[in-house]
Amino acid sequence: MTTTAPSTTPPATGRIGSPLLTVAVLCFGGLTAALTQTMVIPIQGELGVLLRTTEANASWVVTATLVAGAVAMPIAGRLGDLFGKQRVLVVSAALLVLGSLICALSDTLAPMLAGRMLQGFAMGFIPVGIALMREVVPPQYAGTGMAAMSATLGVGGAIGLPLSAWIVQDFSWHTLFWVSTGLAVLMTAAVVLLIPHVRDAVGGRFDAVGALGLSLGLVGLLVAVSKGNDWGWGSGRTLGLLLAGVLVLVAWGSYELRVTDPLCDLRVTVRRPVLLTNAAALAIGFGMMAQAIVVPRLMQAPEETGYGLGQTLLETGLWMAPGGLVMMAFSPISGRLIRALGARVTLMIGAAVLGGGYVFAIFLTDAPWQLLVFNCITSAGIGIGYAAMPTLILESVPLTEAGSGVGINALMRSVGTSISSAVMAAILTSSTITFGAYELPDETAFRACFVVGAIAAFVGVLLAAAVPRRRTAA
């Protein structure tokens, strides 16, 4: 079965700068926004004391950013389509400045949560930046540029862990957020001064009701998934939020099908190429987060357990850092694969490499260098797959829906990572050993996580294979 690319509107017009400089600035902005997702992990266990609150309340510092980022990506994408992508990029960067500054000045929970939510909202920068590249970057650079920009979702998290661990070890924890503030200021200035000011706004009415409905549904669903292990999967809070989230999203979908100018055109979203690509995004996002959760736990487990590697947090971050570099290095390779084989086959290759990394880890986890190799293999797969997904989406949606389409795809990756986090936590607590005063996952639990990660990745291969081949013009 073949599909043809949808019709598009005339290309954007306005001031067009250097393509390579545009790609560099957008990738720097995406990397800066993505860093905020993992920057508090080194101090996560101490947040209760640092913010003078309970450990349960302090855990919202991580959850708030993840949920806000998931909500922001599709909404920012639609705003970019309606009012101009460069404007939305500036607003996203400014939100990151404000959020980082609030966090840097905070010593209690409430302002910290407010700042972390604003940092999460800045994640809308990434899908909007990817969509803008198709408009302002020549075709010979666009594929590689979109690949690199898409990979920043994973690279930021991989680099953020060792960078944050080093900052926390040698400086005050507030320094984390002052560094984030400085990077965000540079990001804002670069977007204002160096990103092309193009007239790509298509106009129309912003669907505020749809945005509110999507936000409420996602918050209910993602908070329940994120907190299910802490609250208990059978608790009233978890089941209530899950049910409320699903019902709100069903009502939202019904509303979006009736409204004249929807936040998300579901008729486009359910087209087979878009639907299957988004399903693959969920599976690959699951696979990405699985290794990010399991590897640090295995690295830092005491050697006395017989399987732990006894690494410190900083050492663990340094062992994992090359994975982020591999992910970025494979972005241009992915661009070449897309040009030579097509985005569909490239996505299949990326998911297969990711699954192969998990198969490697099932049998070889006896030394830090083996986990380094595993992390590099999976990072290569993520870099290849993450690059192919926005290309598949942009081939299948109208130009007027580009930002929204990429935003929904990024949302599906975030949903995959949230589900993965909950599933991995459940597996790691299902089979434990007693070590002193602590309960630690046993070796069987770690291997089960690798098996589940491999299954998710190979499901991604099958979903990508089902995407219809695109008929290309001679």
Average pLDDT for 215-237: 87
> Is the whole-model pTM more than 0.85?
no
Tens digits of per-residue pLDDT, 248-283? 999 999 998 888 888 887 888 888 888 899 899 899
Ranges 12-16, 19-23, 74-78, 295-299: which has the least confidence:
12-16
Residue 341: count of CB within 10 angstroms of its CB: 13
**Total domains, the chain:** 2
Residue 448: count of CB within 10 angstroms of its CB: 19
Pairwise CA distance, residues 378 & 322, whole Å: 11
Q: Is residue 399 part of a domain?
A: yes
Q: Are residues 443 and 356 in the same domain?
A: yes
Residues above pLDDT 90, as percent of the chain:
27
- Report which secondary-structure segment, H or E, holds 3: strand 2-3
**469 phi/psi in degrees, rounded to 5:** -65, 140
What pLDDT does residue 429 have?
A: 82
What pLDDT does residue 419 have?
A: 85
Domain holding 312: CATH number?
Answer: 1.20.1250.20
Q: Are residues 132 and 202 in the same domain?
A: yes
**Does the structure show a pLDDT above 60 at 10?**
no
Radius of gyration of the chain (CA): 21
**Does the structure show a pLDDT above 70 at 355?**
yes
Q: Are residues 407 and 454 in the same domain?
A: yes
Q: How confident is the model at residue 470 (pLDDT cuts 50, 70, 90)?
A: low
What pLDDT does residue 323 have?
A: 83
* Widest pairwise Cα distance in the chain: 68
Tens digits of per-residue pLDDT, 381-404? 988 888 788 888 888 887 777 777
Token pair 């060792």: residue: 162
Cα angle 369, 373, 379; round to 5: 135
Q: Which of 246, 262, 278 is the last residue of a domain?
A: 262
Q: Are residues 338 and 391 in the same domain?
A: yes
Check: CB of residue 184 under 8 Å from CB of residue 156: no
Q: Which amino acid is it at 445?
A: A
Q: How confident is the model at residue 1 (pLDDT cuts 50, 70, 90)?
A: very low
What pLDDT does residue 246 have?
A: 92
What pLDDT does residue 11 have?
A: 47
Q: Are residues 82 and 220 in the same domain?
A: no
SS3 of 294, please? helix
What angle do the packed helices 125-136 and 368-396 form, to 10 degrees? 60
Average pLDDT for 311-316: 81
**N-term to C-term CA, the chain:** 18
Q: Is residue 130 part of a domain?
A: yes
Pairwise CA distance, residues 133 & 307, whole Å: 46
What pLDDT does residue 14 have?
A: 47
Q: Which of 262, 282, 297 is the last residue of a domain?
A: 262
Q: Is residue 345 part of a domain?
A: yes
Whole domain around residue 226: which residue ranges?
207-262
Considering 77-81, 308-312, 374-378, the range whose residues carry the highest mean pLDDT is: 374-378
What pLDDT does residue 347 have?
A: 92
Token pair 């607003």: residue: 91
Q: In the chain, what are the helix, strand and coil shares in percent, each to the nearest 5?
A: 80, 5, 20
Q: Are residues 85 and 179 in the same domain?
A: yes
What pLDDT does residue 81 have?
A: 85
Beta bridge partners of 287: none
Q: Which of 245, 262, 279 is the last residue of a domain?
A: 262
**Does the structure show a pLDDT above 50 at 9?**
no
Check: CB of residue 314 under 8 Å from CB of residue 166: yes
Pairwise CA distance, residues 185 & 147, whole Å: 25
- Report which secondary-structure segment, H or E, holds 198: strand 198-199
Q: Are residues 224 and 163 in the same domain?
A: no
Of residues 365, 363, 369, 359, the one with CA closest to residue 305:
365
Q: Are residues 257 and 388 in the same domain?
A: no
Q: How confident is the model at residue 17 (pLDDT cuts 50, 70, 90)?
A: low
**How high is the mean pLDDT of the chain?**
84
Q: Are residues 349 and 455 in the same domain?
A: yes
Check: CB of residue 425 under 8 Å from CB of residue 255: no
Give the DSSP per-residue string, 400-417.
Answer: GGHHHHHHHHHHHHHHHH
Q: Which amino acid is it at 373?
A: V
**Does the structure show a pLDDT above 60 at 198?**
yes
Pairwise CA distance, residues 382 & 283, whole Å: 11
The sign of the CA dihedral 60, 63, 68, 71 is negative
- Report which secondary-structure segment, H or E, holds 173: none
**Does the structure show a pLDDT above 50 at 320?**
yes
Q: Are residues 80 and 156 in the same domain?
A: yes
What pLDDT does residue 16 have?
A: 52
Q: Is residue 11 part of a domain?
A: no
What pLDDT does residue 257 have?
A: 86
What pLDDT does residue 251 have?
A: 94
Q: Are residues 101 and 112 in the same domain?
A: yes
**Does the structure show a pLDDT above 70 at 26?**
yes
Q: How confident is the model at residue 73 (pLDDT cuts 50, 70, 90)?
A: confident
Q: Are residues 291 and 375 in the same domain?
A: yes
